[in-house]
Amino acid sequence: MEITSFDYDYVIIGSGFGGSVSALRLSEKGYKVLVIEKGKWFKADDFPKTNWDLRRWMWLPKLGMQGLFKLTFYRHVAIVSGVGVGGGSLVYANTLPVPKDEFYNSGHWNGLANWQEELKPFYHTALKMLGAEKHPYMSRSDKAMQQLATNWGRPEAFEKTDVAIYFGKPGVTVDDPYFDGKGPERTGCILCGGCMLGCRYNSKNTLDKNYLHLAQQLGCDIIAEKQVYDVVPLNEDGSAGYEIKYKDALSYFPKKGSVTAKGVIFAGGVLGTVDLLLKLKQSSLPNLSDSVGAGIRTNSESLIGVTTYDKDVSYSEGIAIGSIVNIDNSRHLEPVKYSEGAGFWRIFMAPMVQGKNFFIRFYRMLKDYFLHPIDNLKVFFVDDWSKRTQILLYMESIDSALSFKRNWFGGMKTKVDKGTPPTAFNPKAQEIAHEMEKIANGKAMVMSTETLFGIPTTAHILGGACMGADVESGVIDSDNKVFNYRNMMVCDGSMISANPGVNPSLSITAITERAMSKMPVKNEHPDFN
């Protein structure tokens, strides 16, 4: 099949950090670009006021829930992710840390480049584009983190985060403060703590307000509520282009459509990209590396909520994550919060215990209920769980990995890969949680899926289309190009080839900026002329 005129030069599947960067930079270089996103376009009024509004918050479209938040369970990990135009930026905590040294010299990409030096200018660009600003306030949760660091005799370990938020004057709207008037109006943050529900006050610098906004001004097309299900090369290696097939994402009886493009970029996040690549390897893209699905990482995270017994204390005021404690070069701790009334997670919480199997943990959970009935009742019946709870996000850059494989039903399943599998019972995280119990005068609780089934939860699923020196060792090369196919790239969290140990959004942005910097302008690209 030979096509002489394509609908687009590049089709980008997904609109998160990698997809948004790709959309803008390719548009700047003269390419005709289409972004396809399975989630919805959201305006400020579309976001839920609390996460009890499941229809607006959660993404389960077949059940009528068409929100921006997705919770997915696998055997070895539970994953929280974002859905919608802007991808994970809609629900992430705005935090933009640069990883420590270990990230650049470990994992699948080790030795492919001098990553720390090469990425420095692109981290700078990413911080500027995302409107990063040092968090200027000290909330109760930040003071608690500062107290922890002081108790350890390392007050210097505490620092404020760089965050993608416009602070300005609280509640005051101004003309675009970032892009010489080319961007949208912004409004000063009112410190409501609702960042991860979708910002209803126009303060969060989500991707639809920077990269995607600017890309549209250059002619980039974005279609929402469409899910790509097939990418068909028009010849063996895709040098003749691709047909990208999609269907309605919200319909029980979806209509289908397709477009043609000279190139394609997978940017649907790990759950989108890896799932699609695994399917396509068995059909339309058989020459993909056998490494598809390998090297899945979780940042070795622990999420623990410490609920205070004090009725006059609020942990909701501020931003989602306003500070970080650098425990050492490999381990970090951040305080996480939701706005008042957003206590949906309380129904999942259970006592924090350890044990080798379900029966031991179940016994210890019952024992905790029996020995501490008053404390458990106080936590269970707390008037406002989100307001009274300090959530601890503990992360490690120590490498551990899973892999995704196809299951019998056409979806994905997890399997333990090289390294230590992620655990729900990290001893250091639990030790810190017990220290926080004293500071907050409260009780540490975790997801019941952790207590009962030993399944850890992560907000930072990474890998599955890792970099390698060749097709035997990776899915993509050091410039994000897919082995064995022309004009095909992966630019999202699935390209991350080592545990950053910190929030990965900035790194996804910076690595994609680097990849796009290597793309020629259209009139200098031999395949596009």
Residues annotated as part of the active site: 460
Contact 160, 341 (CB under 8 A): no
What whole-number distance in Å separates Cα of residue 340 and Cα of residue 77? 28
Q: Collapse the DSSP code of 467 into the 3-class scheme (helix H, G, I; strand E, B; otherwise coil) and give the result.
A: strand
Query: Count of alpha carbons within 13 Å of 333, Cβ hemisphere only?
Result: 27
Contact 484, 237 (CB under 8 A): yes
| DSSP-assigned beta bridge partners for residue 33 | 10
Contact 198, 48 (CB under 8 A): yes
Alpha-carbon dihedral 511, 513, 518, 523, rounded to 10 degrees: 150
Q: Collapse the DSSP code of 235 into the 3-class scheme (helix H, G, I; strand E, B; otherwise coil) and give the result.
A: coil
What's 165's DSSP letter?
A: B
Contact 315, 497 (CB under 8 A): no
Q: Collapse the DSSP code of 266 into the 3-class scheme (helix H, G, I; strand E, B; otherwise coil) and give the result.
A: strand
Contact 161, 334 (CB under 8 A): yes
First vs last C-alpha separation in the chain: 19
Burial 59-93 (b: 16+ CB within 10 A, else e): bebeeebbbbbbeeebebbbbbbbbbbbbbbbbbb
What type of residue sits at position 189?
A: C
Contact 209, 183 (CB under 8 A): yes
What's 260's DSSP letter?
A: E
What whole-number distance in Å separates Cα of residue 94 and Cα of residue 205? 8
Q: Collapse the DSSP code of 15 into the 3-class scheme (helix H, G, I; strand E, B; otherwise coil) and give the result.
A: coil
CA-to-CA dists, residue 112 to 149, 468, 469, 514, 516, angstroms:
36, 7, 7, 14, 17
What whole-number distance in Å separates Cα of residue 520 and Cα of residue 228? 26
Pairing of strands 8-13, 256-266: parallel
